Amino acid sequence: VPLSALLDRRSSPLRGREAAGIPSPAVAAQGTPNAELAQLLSQTARGDRAAFEMLYVHTAPKLFGVLARILGRGDHANAVLEDVYMRIWQEAGTFNPEIGPPITWMAALARNRALDAIARGRLERRIADGPEALDLPIEGDAGSDQEQKERRHLLAGLKGLEPERRRVLLRAYYYGLSREEIALEADRSAASVKPWLRSVLAQLKGCLSQ
Amino acid sequence: MTDDDDIEGLAAEYVLGSLGTLERAEVAGRRATDAALDAAITAWEARLGPLSTALPGIEPPGYILGNVLRQVDTPISVPLASMREGSRRRRSVRRWLALSAGASALAACLVGALLWVFEAPVRIPARFVSELEKTPNPTEGLTVALVPLGFEVFFDLRASTVLVRPFAVPPGSSQDYQLWLIPHGTAAPPISLGVIPLAEPTMSPWPATYPPRDLVHARLAVSLEPRGGSPKGIPTGPTMFEGKLVQASYPLP
């Protein structure tokens, strides 16, 4: 499923893979089975350094992709990636497979660290200008069956939103935009963006529960 | 605490990442005690999570794995004291001490009681605590009659939170107390951890930009600043309280 199908196209000075900081296809290839990642997490929780290293090799590009979109590629994203893996080393035992796939848990952990860093206002970042930055092929067939199923479900829910709402929501998520930045994206006043944003999120929740 | 009653909207925005600094900190703190909010956040993380894993990865610089493994291989130990105390006894000691005047020598013992010896450290410490004592004032000599303990600051790296607990600190008439982190072994300026509310303990998230090892051997200081905090981003007023950051052996008090 191309993500571009969910996004309105707009003209932008930034185009293509280079502008978006997109890696080569070889790097993009991911998809370690959940059971293997869960096993590596379990071994990591017991202090197995080799398993932890293997876990890094399998997952670091995915987590770095999450961080680099929010923080930009550079020292900040590098430092946060180190921090994230030290947390994974320390917190691997808290992973609960009932909540979701291992990579989703790790990505959420990474994303939260990046958002905390942004929220503290210590980071300057460059947000790619234009939806082409998200004009990427979603890896529809990558990952486990569970991941693919959840991804298809979410994409179906997103299709239930109006195109402009969907575009702004996706950019807000991938770049960790603040309300002020979302107001600019959505061409709304700062005062009206909070109720608008919450209505978008409530609508998405409704679409997903159908 | 935020007065936002829309837990669902608050959780969704927390996961989306659109909340401002204060609101994000409040939600992170409130999450620990508000099960409904915590469940809503977990649900939104599961809901939107597939977006994170849907896009292609980006290869990180090769040196990062080496850095991470070095941290794993070279745990940091803080062999500062040899006493281990149960948390109940520790708290009662602290309370007694906080009520004792001019007890700076005993306060040093208290710090000792809060420490944990790394006999066979295998992990970077997950919790740090600092007891900030009143900075000695030459004009007051040895007749200080104030409570020496000003603030307790507690870092829980697993929960990514910083708890700041004020003791009986008199409020400034038109000034605020501001907390600073002073990393060890660097010429970098102190890092502001924000203005400290005096009415009650406050919880805020710990930023990911500072790895746990940066807290080792670091110091904390509280300066008196204009209302709202230092306008320059660095301490401008006198240092009122200070303390060393050490590993804590007990969970969030």
- The DSSP string of A131-178 is GGGG--B--TT-S-HHHHHHHHHHHHHHHTS-HHHHHHHHHHHHHT--
Q: B162 has which bridge partners? A: B155, B204
pLDDT in tens, B187-227: 677 888 888 888 778 887 776 556 666 677 788 988 888 88
Query: CB neighbours (10 Å) of residue B80?
Result: 16
Integer Cα distance of A116 and A97 in angstroms: 25
Integer Cα distance of A47 and A52 in angstroms: 8
Token digits for A131? 């939806």
Residue A196 or A23, more confident: A196
Residue A17 has pLDDT above 50, yes or no: no
Residue B74 or A49, more confident: A49
Integer Cα distance of B164 and B111 in angstroms: 16
Q: Which element (helix H / strand E) includes B63?
A: helix B63-73
Cβ contacts (< 8 Å) between B68 and chain A: which residues?
Answer: 56, 82, 85-86, 89
Q: Among partner residues B58, B73, B157, which is closest to A64 by beta-carbon distance?
A: B58
Among chain B residues, CA nearest to A69: B58
Q: How many Å lie between the alpha carbon of A207 and the closest alpha carbon of chain B?
A: 11
Residue A193: per-residue pLDDT: 94
Residue A103: per-residue pLDDT: 92
Q: How many Å lie between the alpha carbon of A4 and the closest alpha carbon of chain B?
A: 12
> Cβ(B104)–Cβ(B148) under 8 Å?
yes
Residue A12: per-residue pLDDT: 31
Q: Report chain B's terminal Cα–Cα distance, integer Å.
A: 19
Residue A6: per-residue pLDDT: 46
Pick from A62, A86, A96, A174 the residue to mutate for testing the B interface (most B CBs within 10 Å). A86
Pick from A88, A115, A141, A209 the residue to mutate for testing the B interface (most B CBs within 10 Å). A115
Among chain A residues, CA nearest to B12: A201
Cβ contacts (< 8 Å) between A138 and chain B: which residues?
Answer: 54-55
pLDDT in tens, A55-76: 999 999 999 999 988 888 777 8
Among chain B residues, CA nearest to A116: B207
Token digits for B60? 């990180």
Q: How many Å lie between the alpha carbon of B243 and the closest alpha carbon of chain A?
A: 23
Token digits for A37? 């990642």
Residue B40: per-residue pLDDT: 95
Residue A25: per-residue pLDDT: 31
Residue B38: per-residue pLDDT: 92
Residue A44: per-residue pLDDT: 94
Residue B204 or A129, more confident: B204
Contact A83 B208 (CB under 8 A): yes
Cβ contacts (< 8 Å) between B126 and chain A: which residues?
Answer: 90
Contact B212 A86 (CB under 8 A): yes
**Cβ-proximal residues to B50 (8 Å cutoff; 6+ apart), any chain:** A104, A147, A150, A151, A153, A154
Pick from A43, A82, A135, A184 the residue to mutate for testing the B interface (most B CBs within 10 Å). A82
Q: How many Å lie between the alpha carbon of A85 and the closest alpha carbon of chain B?
A: 7
Pick from A201, A207, A208, A209 the residue to mutate for testing the B interface (most B CBs within 10 Å). A201
Residue A128: per-residue pLDDT: 53
Q: Among partner residues A65, A147, A204, which is closest to B58 by beta-carbon distance?
A: A65
Q: How many Å lie between the alpha carbon of B12 and the closest alpha carbon of chain A?
A: 7
Please give the average per-residue pLDDT across A76-105, as a whole number.
89
Residue A127: per-residue pLDDT: 54
Taking alpha carbons only, the member of B158, B252, B163, B235 closest to residue B200 is B163
Residue A165 or A130, more confident: A165
Residue A125: per-residue pLDDT: 54
Average pLDDT, chain A: 77
Residue B71: per-residue pLDDT: 83
ipTM field = 0.79
Residue B249: per-residue pLDDT: 64
3-state secondary structure A42-96: HHHHCCCHHHHHHHHHHHHHHHHHHHHHHHCCCHHHHHHHHHHHHHHHHHHHHCC
pLDDT in tens, B27-37: 888 888 889 99
Among chain B residues, CA nearest to A100: B46
Q: B182 has which bridge partners? A: B219
Residue A9 has pLDDT above 50, yes or no: no
Counting as low any pLDDT under 70, the low residues of chain B are 1-4, 74-125, 136-148, 168, 172, 185-187, 207-214, 249-253
Contact B65 A87 (CB under 8 A): no
DSSP state of B53: H
